[in-house]
Structure 1
Amino acid sequence: MPYWWPSVDTTDTSGYCLSWRLAVESNNIRAWRTVPTQCSRHVEAYMTAGQYQRDLNLIVDNIFTYIDSIHLPYDGFDAWIFDVDDTCISNLFYYKGKRYGCEPFDPLAFKAWALNGACPAIPDVLRLFNKLIQTGFKVFLVTGRNEDTLGQATVQNLDDQGFFGYERLFLRNDSYKGQSAITYKSDIRRQLVGEGYRIWGNVGDQWSDLQGDYVGNRTFKLPNPMYFVP
């Protein structure tokens, strides 16, 4: 008996954009430079009309369940890692001006935005962050932001948004110049493991936050269809 396969309406832009976003989040499409022009409104609706928030809520609730299953030895070496941009704090307002990722990344424009220190906390992640601190984890923040140009603004922005009590914030310095995010973040995690830390969890909005070496016991990918960091 022949297999039946439904026909596909190739003119259905909404359907295409749903498929494109799924492929991005599952890391089947890689090294993409911009959101497809026809998907600008789809990404805008996803990010602003509630589905992004629902997805975040589901992921964070599952992380809470995982945390509650861990029996900590409370020796001070139980670690958790967070990315910063679009993990702890949001650049949604910046990307609104870039048509939600349809325009190429502009490093100078992003630097000017980040220097304002106006990135709001992502509430579900702040809730998770506080849960981890209260539970006894040592939380480390690892970002690709440049230490010399954005270090002070980043620290202040995090402080203003309620991210208190983390163990250390790692920013890129000249020794990591030109390295991919995977290489840079793997090296930071290697250092922490070398210091004796056990990485129980690792949260980021990019696959490059969660790939490479010493990724931890569990990794959790937050949605971000606006840009790709290799």
Structure 2
Amino acid sequence: MRKSLRVAGIATACAVAGAALYGTGAATADNASARHTAEPQNIGVLVGEIDDYYGAHQDADGVWRSSPDSPYAKDLARIQAKAKKDIRKAAAHGKESGRKSGKKPAIVLDVDDTALLSFDYEKTTNYTYNNTTWDAYVKAAKRPAVFGMPELVSYAKGKGVEVFFLTGLSESQREGAVTNLAKAGYDTRLDTTHVFTKNKTDPPAYLNNCATPAKWECTTVQFKEGTRKHIESTGYDIVGSFGDQVSDLAGGYADKTYKLPNPTYFVG
């Protein structure tokens, strides 16, 4: 599965647009009947707004692309500029504190729509999700990099910061993800100690609070929190954690978090 609890379809984005109604007009455990106070955002209008945000266009091969001068790209650039300042400060501070604590600075990146852009999949499937088509898409290893992220990784490495990837992709999708990251310009170590996937058949011991070989019960937050905790236990201080979902970042074990924009789906 692409990311646990991924909500299929453009209806997700519509639900987000109407999230302000929750508690006032939505059905809840305490309010069995919804009181409709406003019409939700029209899906057709919302899709058009998402297209404009990404600067959506098709190339000669029919692949959907985002424009490098789109509002999406500009939002990314602002976040990355702030992150680079923080990384520079953390790296400079870490040279002294690291000698005392034995900790080396590191950053952790999600993969889907944090390192690699899945916009073509979303557009081609009309914002619906299917295990089979998603698996084939990941294994094709043709996704472009999210604007500016390979450069951010290179910047961090130049400051002596270690780079890790932490993704909800399955272990069977590791090869496709690693191949794609390399092709997209991520010039950093991509071995099993630097790229963490969901291994549900043989989960690592550090996830024993929610996963065993017999049963996987980790939520997205538990999986990512537990893995960041493990990374820090191996001698690193995670100075920055990057993700396109709040669930990528929740749970601690990072000095700072950076939420990248993604209006195309929601992962709880």
TM-score normalised by length of structure 1: 0.79
Specify the alignment match of 2:264 in structure 1.
Answer: 226
Whether 1:42 and 2:49 are equivalent positions in the alignment is yes
Specify the alignment match of 2:83 in structure 1.
Answer: 63
Question: CA offsets, 1:73-124, max 9 Å, x none?
Answer: 266621111001111111111111133x3x3x21221111111001111231
Letter in 1 for 2:267: V
Conservation of the 8 A alpha-carbon contact between 2:73 and 2:147: no
The verdict on how the C-alpha distance between 1:133 and 1:22 changes in structure 2, with shifts beyond 3 A counting, is farther
Question: CA offsets, 1:147-183, max 9 Å, x none?
Answer: 1x21111111111111122360001101353421101
Question: CA offsets, 1:24-49, max 9 Å, x none?
Answer: xxxxxxxxxxx962311111111226
Distance 1:81 1:43 in 2: 27
Structure having the larger proportion of residues in helix = 1
Specify the alignment match of 2:243 in structure 1.
Answer: 204
Letter in 2 for 1:52: Y
- After alignment, is 202-211 or 159-168 more displaced? 159-168
Letter in 2 for 1:229: V
Whether 1:96 and 2:123 are equivalent positions in the alignment is yes
Letter in 1 for 2:111: V
Conservation of the 8 A alpha-carbon contact between 1:21 and 1:225: no
Specify the alignment match of 1:192 in structure 2.
Answer: 231
The verdict on how the C-alpha distance between 1:223 and 1:21 changes in structure 2, with shifts beyond 3 A counting, is farther
Distance 2:55 2:217 in 1: 34
Aligned residues: 198
Distance 1:221 1:210 in 2: 8
1:21 is displaced (CA, Å) by 9.2
Specify the alignment match of 1:158 in structure 2.
Answer: 181
TM-score normalised by length of structure 2: 0.68
- After alignment, is 120-129 or 199-208 more displaced? 120-129
Question: CA offsets, 1:54-77, max 9 Å, x none?
Answer: 100111111112122222226662
DSSP 3-state at the match of 2:181: helix
DSSP 3-state at the match of 1:225: coil
1:213 is displaced (CA, Å) by 3.3
Backbone CA RMSD of aligned residues: 2.4
Alignment of 1:162-177 (within 5 A): 162-166=185-189, 168-174=194-200, 175=203, 176=211, 177=216
Distance 2:85 2:18 in 1: 27
Conservation of the 8 A alpha-carbon contact between 2:116 and 2:145: yes
Letter in 2 for 1:189: R
